[in-house]
Amino acid sequence: MSKKEIEIAKNRLSSGEVVIFPTETVYGIGCDATKDMAVNLLYKLKKRPKNNPIICHFANLEDIKKNFYINKTELLLAEKFWPGPLTLILKKKKISKISPLVSNHNEYVGCRIPKNKITQELLSKVKFPIAAPSANITSETSVTLPEDLNPFFKENILILNDGPAKLGLESTVLKINKNIIEILRLGSLSEEMINKKINNEIIINQKSNLSPGNLLKHYSPKKPLRMNIKSVNDNEGLLNFGSTNLFSKVFNLNLSSKGNLEEAANNFFHYIHLLDQSKCQKIAVVPIPNIGLGKTLNDRLKRSSFKN
């Protein structure tokens, strides 16, 4: 990645255009969070309902403090996990110039400092936070490799290509409620990882109305998907984990033959893309242990397998 490409991205963002950029979780499609017109364009490109708020990405904690109130617990989380795969829902100050459209006119906004060298440089060069959802069309799968991006995005939008994302699952979205940590969306930061650093009670509250992004059908491949399978049908491609005796006659992938959940998280979205492109008619996924990142993987699989 050359300095020139980052400069071009900066100029496009500054003139209200959108840019696709890498983060340690998944690729993002972003714009100037303070420009209503640009945020509107983002919703349109992603085909995203306006009531589903968008995360704002910042270069550093100082910039977040200028725009948001931050209490003791929030500060502790920020210090332990930023830059990194944490999104904190914070209360916006009146003086903030962040567009009300990023949060459907709500004063609570999702904030995050991503851990990726290129994007950190971009964020430090622009004079505004970058509003960015994951770089996929609404309800489709997130993207961890630029080659998996939607063809329309590939042809029409500048992409800062930094190869495969380091973690592979989206950020964990947290809201602090009377010192209790509420997980609004499971993500790359597991409950266990938070527990190791912070003593506060943690509850998973993915049904919260605050996160309409948690629609049941989400992260969906184009093909029907079955999870927790015990046998594979003839027309199914297999997404395996660890060492099972299962085998597909059409297409086989293993998220991690060693049974490592970090490796599985890292491969997950790319493998779903590969299965979607393979000759199989349906996708069958073996059980994934429901611990640590396995909880996030099972959450994504549940939404992927949801039938309307």
Question: Per-residue contact track with ligand TXA, 247 to 266, x per CB under 6 A?
Answer: --------------------
Question: Per-residue contact track with Mg ion, 186 to 215, x per CB under 5 A?
Answer: ------------------------------
- Judged by CB, which is closer to ligand TXA: 87, or 267? 87
Query: How near is the Cβ of 283 to ligand TXA at its closest, in Å?
Result: 21
Q: Which of 127, 84, 90, 92 is nearest to 111 (CA)?
A: 90
Residue 52 touches which member of ligand TXA, Mg ion, none, C-beta under 5-8 Å by kind = ligand TXA
* Residue from 10, 35, 92, 112 in contact with ligand TXA (CB under 6 A): 112
Q: Residue 28 and residue 39: Cα distance in Å, rounded?
A: 14
Q: Residue 4 and residue 133: Cα distance in Å, rounded?
A: 24
Q: Which two three-digit tokens encode residue 109? A: 């906004």
- Judged by CB, which is closer to Mg ion: 8, or 137? 137
Positions 183 through 212 that interact with ligand TXA (CB under 6 A): 184-185, 210-212
* Residue from 20, 54, 59, 232 in contact with ligand TXA (CB under 6 A): 54
Q: Which of 9, 18, 3, 113 is nearest to 58 (CA)?
A: 113
Q: Residue 172 and residue 149: Cα distance in Å, rounded?
A: 22
Residue 112 touches which member of Mg ion, ligand TXA, none, C-beta under 5-8 Å by kind = ligand TXA
Q: Residue 243 and residue 269: Cα distance in Å, rounded?
A: 20
* Residue from 88, 109, 131, 159 in contact with ligand TXA (CB under 6 A): 109
Dihedral sign (CA 116, 58, 106, 69): positive
Rule CB under 5 A: is residue 134 a binding residue for Mg ion? Answer: yes
Note if the bond before 22 is cis, omega within 30 degrees: no
Rule CB under 6 A: is residue 110 a binding residue for ligand TXA? Answer: yes
Query: How near is the Cβ of 191 to ligand TXA at its closest, in Å?
Result: 17
Q: Residue 12 and residue 22: Cα distance in Å, rounded?
A: 16
Q: Which of 2, 13, 27, 4 is nearest to 123 (CA)?
A: 13
- Judged by CB, which is closer to ligand TXA: 210, or 239? 210
Q: Which two three-digit tokens encode residue 259? A: 């049974």
Rule CB under 6 A: is residue 116 a binding residue for ligand TXA? Answer: no
Looking from the CA of 50 toward its CB, the CA atoms found within 13 Å total: 10
Q: Which of 226, 176, 227 is nearest to 202 (CA)?
A: 176
Tell me the window of 10-18, 107-115, 221-229, 237-245 that interacts with ligand TXA (CB under 6 A): 107-115
* Nearest residue (beta carbon) to ligand TXA: 213
Positions 156 through 185 that interact with ligand TXA (CB under 6 A): 170-171, 173, 184-185
DSSP state of 157: S
Residue 161 touches which member of ligand TXA, Mg ion, none, C-beta under 5-8 Å by kind = none
| 3-state secondary structure (DSSP) of residue 28 | strand
Which residues of the chain form contacts with ligand TXA (CB under 6 A)?
Answer: 23, 25-26, 28, 52-55, 87, 89, 103, 108-110, 112, 114, 132-134, 170-171, 173, 184-185, 210-214
Which residues of the chain form contacts with Mg ion (CB under 5 A)?
Answer: 134
